[in-house]
Amino acid sequence: MSQSQTQSKTINRRFLLASRPHGAPTPDNFKLDQSPVPVPAAGELLLRTVYLSLDPYMRGRMSDAPSYAAPVAVGEVMVGGTVSRVEVSEHADYKAGDLVLSYSGWQDYALSDGKGLTKLDAKLGKPSYALGLLGMPGFTAYMGLLDIGQPKAGETVAVAAATGAVGSVVGQIAKLKGCRVVGIAGGADKCKYAVEELGFDACIDHRAADFPQQLAAACNKGIDVYFENVGGAVFDAVLPLLNTRARVPLCGLIANYNATGKPQGPDHLPGLMRNMLTRRIKMQGFIIFDDYGHRYMEFFKEMSGWILAGKMKYREDIVDGLENAPQAFIGLLEGKNFGKLVIRAGDE
């Protein structure tokens, strides 16, 4: 029985933020709400969620600690990017059946006035790629690596969460640019995949007791670009290996997202700054659409070219059923996913 057969056409299932997590999110931080499917007014569309993207940044939105974006209010629908199908159109630019990139959140249905939607091109691989390789994670990888990281052929690029939605793209682009790529991932299967499928030169398991030593051995010429999306103990092992004039694009710190009180990681801020000074390291945080939104088409064209030329491998970890979103998201923060985590909420 396919997922769509179980879906109601009259009930909209929505996951609301029930309470703010303390530490790791738990299932009771989410509340499954059922409400009638809304009806579009003139100029509006009814969208049916086909794929829901689950991404680490959502942990930040569940919290009301100061951040770059407003938190989701308790009682509101959890936010998230979606690939959605136009179910009913009262809008001149769309017709029923169109697939669009939307930001409908964790729910089966959403209304839209068309603003902010992007129609998807069926030529470019799977529609779900719009949430990954061709979407926010791929764009993050591309701009962070190329604009901030500025890798040069022959340099060593290290990337953590190496088989994830961002890291896998960082490493593959770095290979296209002629770099030596050393991935960091959790577990032998992911490391094997990074080397054998993604073509990385090496991939080190951060769960190994001698991880820092293994990483140093794999980076025997040091690290010129470290794409930082993890933080914590991984960064602790990377810091001593950063070369003079190393660049550290900083797009995430997933190791700390569930921290309560003092976060994990190296406990020596002056030490970091001293290293940055003496080795002239550049570290720069970025939030992809806020900082690079105006360059999306540049990314889209080049990445589309790589996809059509067969130069990009992309693994998705697809979980069936919107009802499984909370558990899948909890697992994402523990590194349980293998590839880009996507919820299949409805049929293409």
Which residues of this chain interact with a copy of itself, rule CB under 8 A? Answer: 66-68, 228, 231-232, 235, 244-245, 250-253, 256, 259, 262-274, 276-287, 290-291
C-alpha to C-alpha distance for 127 and 206, rounded to whole angstroms: 32
Among residues 208 and 259, whose Cβ is nearest to a copy of itself? 259
C-alpha to C-alpha distance for 322 and 344, rounded to whole angstroms: 7
Shortest Å distance, C-beta 244 to a copy of itself: 7
Among residues 83 and 148, whose Cβ is nearest to a copy of itself? 148
C-alpha to C-alpha distance for 243 and 252, rounded to whole angstroms: 21
Shortest Å distance, C-beta 300 to a copy of itself: 22
Among residues 34 and 67, whose Cβ is nearest to a copy of itself? 67
Tokens describing residue 174: 């770095």
Shortest Å distance, C-beta 164 to a copy of itself: 17
Shortest Å distance, C-beta 216 to a copy of itself: 15
- Cβ–Cβ under 8 Å, residues 152 and 138: no
C-alpha to C-alpha distance for 78 and 14, rounded to whole angstroms: 8
Among residues 86 and 255, whose Cβ is nearest to a copy of itself? 255
φ, ψ dihedrals at 263, nearest 5°: -70, 160
Shortest Å distance, C-beta 107 to a copy of itself: 27
Tokens describing residue 48: 């049916």
The residue whose two tokens read 């720069």 is 284
The residue whose two tokens read 């640019």 is 177
Which residues lie below 8 Å from residue 309, measured CB to CB, with a gap of 6+?
A: none
Among residues 208 and 276, whose Cβ is nearest to a copy of itself? 276
Tokens describing residue 191: 């490391």
Among residues 270 and 310, whose Cβ is nearest to a copy of itself? 270
Residue 174 CB burial class (10 angstroms; 0-12, 13-18, ≥19): buried
- Cβ–Cβ under 8 Å, residues 47 and 110: yes
Shortest Å distance, C-beta 329 to a copy of itself: 20
Among residues 147 and 323, whose Cβ is nearest to a copy of itself? 147
Shortest Å distance, C-beta 348 to a copy of itself: 34
- Cβ–Cβ under 8 Å, residues 119 and 100: yes
φ, ψ dihedrals at 14, nearest 5°: -135, 140
